[in-house]
């Protein structure tokens, strides 16, 4: 079964900026959002997408709370 991050990647439009959603999704929980964002970072490291915006919550835990990406392949 594909991860949520891979599903977001595959559902995104080639070349279009996609924002990782919060409200009303499985990503409402900050730890889940952060994990999916980090999985998308791994796809970026593989050259499959470009992270266009990333924000961490500024607290000691350093959780990612905003992320936008552009699919390259």
Q: Are 31 and 53 in contact (CB under 8 A)?
A: no
Q: What is the pLDDT of residue 2?
A: 72
The predicted model scores a pTM of 0.90
CA distance linking residue 15 with residue 21, whole number of Å: 18
Residues of the domain holding 50:
4-71
Q: What is the pLDDT of residue 22?
A: 86
Q: What is the pLDDT of residue 33?
A: 95
Q: What is the pLDDT of residue 29?
A: 93
| Number of domains within the chain | 1
CA distance linking residue 51 with residue 47, whole number of Å: 10
Q: For residue range 10-23, what is the model confidence (pLDDT) as tens digits? A: 999 999 999 999 88
Regions of the chain short of the pLDDT cut 50: none
């Amino acid at each position: 079964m594909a991860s949520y991050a891979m599903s977001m990647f595959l559902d995104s439009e080639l070349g279009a900026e996609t924002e990782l959603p919060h409200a009303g999704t499985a990503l409402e929980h900050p730890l889940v959002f952060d994990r999916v964002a980090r999985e998308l970072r791994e796809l970026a490291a593989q050259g499959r997408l470009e992270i266009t915006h990333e924000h961490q919550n500024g607290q000691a835990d350093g959780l990612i709370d905003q992320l936008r990406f552009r699919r390259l392949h």
